[in-house]
Amino acid sequence: MKKVLVVLGLVMCVGLLTIKAPVQAETSPTTVGTTNPTDSPTTQVKTSREDQLKLRTQELQTKTANLQNAREKEATRAAQRCEQIGQKIDTALSNYQNNRTSQINLYQAMAEKIQQILLKLQQNGIDVSTLQSDLQLFNVKIQQLNTDASAAMAQLQVAKQYECGNSQGQFMTQLGKARTLMQTVEKDAQDVRQFFQSKIRPDIETLRSQIKTTELGKVKGSPNPNSELHTTLQLNTKEHASPTPTTANP
């Protein structure tokens, strides 16, 4: 009886070992399979670096695009500025040709008219030395105004030959020279006006007073030197009462 029990116990132990062995074999792969390769520290670091690289690439692309847009906008603004400068140069040239030329012509015509009257007065024995001397200087100032105005116009033409924005600074250099000349022309014009008011005009008034006391001033009708001087003085007064032609500044 004891032997039977021992045998049964051995059989049962063998059976249990036989049953447990497959279970362990089945569960063992499951335990190994639950480890995910992507969860390892090395894999996580690699993924993080890739994400950072993508982010930096996107940021760089965005900055590059913004920089390109800014450059295009600046180029557009520069082209617009150059176009505006070109238009101002054309306007300045037109103003010089119209305003300055007409103003110079007016001064020259007045000087010639006064000179003709002075010759008549000299023939009648009237002393015109003071006005004659001042008139010579007046003509010099008119000529200086004419010379400087021509130089300014020529310099504007030189500046216009250079392409704005693509001439390595030559355009702005030449334009700066033109502006300097234009300022000189404005000073010349002021000098001519002031000289007439302070010298020529008083000289004419003095001569008119002298003529009134002579028989020449009592002659009626034209030509009468006093009347002609008065007419010339009135023309100049109207010219000074009108707005002074200004120099366009590009």
Give the containing element (helix H, strand E) for 82: helix 41-95
Statement: the pTM of the whole predicted model exceeds 0.85: no
Residue 249, domain member (yes or no): no
Maximum C-alpha span of the chain: 186
Residue 30, domain member (yes or no): no
- Residue range of the domain that includes 171: 66-241
Distance CA 37, CA 48 (A): 15
Residue 246, domain member (yes or no): no
Q: DSSP secondary structure string, 89-139?
A: HHHHHHHIIIIIHHHHHHHHHHHHHHHHHHHHHHHTT---HHHHHHHHHHH
Confidence of residue 207 (pLDDT cuts 50, 70, 90): confident
Torsion region of 125: left, alpha or beta (phi above 0 gives left; psi -120 to 50 gives alpha): left
Among 91, 78, 148, 124, CA closest to 226: 124
Residue 219, domain member (yes or no): yes
Residue 60, domain member (yes or no): no
pLDDT of residue 192: 95
pLDDT per residue as tens digits for the range 40-54: 666 666 678 888 888
Residue 157's φ and ψ, nearest 5 degrees, are -65, -40
Residue 28, domain member (yes or no): no
Please state the domain count of the chain. Answer: 1
Mean residue pLDDT across the chain: 75
Confidence of residue 34 (pLDDT cuts 50, 70, 90): low
Residue 96, domain member (yes or no): yes
Structure-token pair, residue 233: 């003085």
Give the containing element (helix H, strand E) for 16: helix 2-33
**pLDDT above 90 for 23:** no
Which amino acid would we find at residue 46? Answer: K
Residue 87, domain member (yes or no): yes
- Whether residue 132 contacts residue 158, with contact meaning beta carbons closer than 8 Å, is answered with no
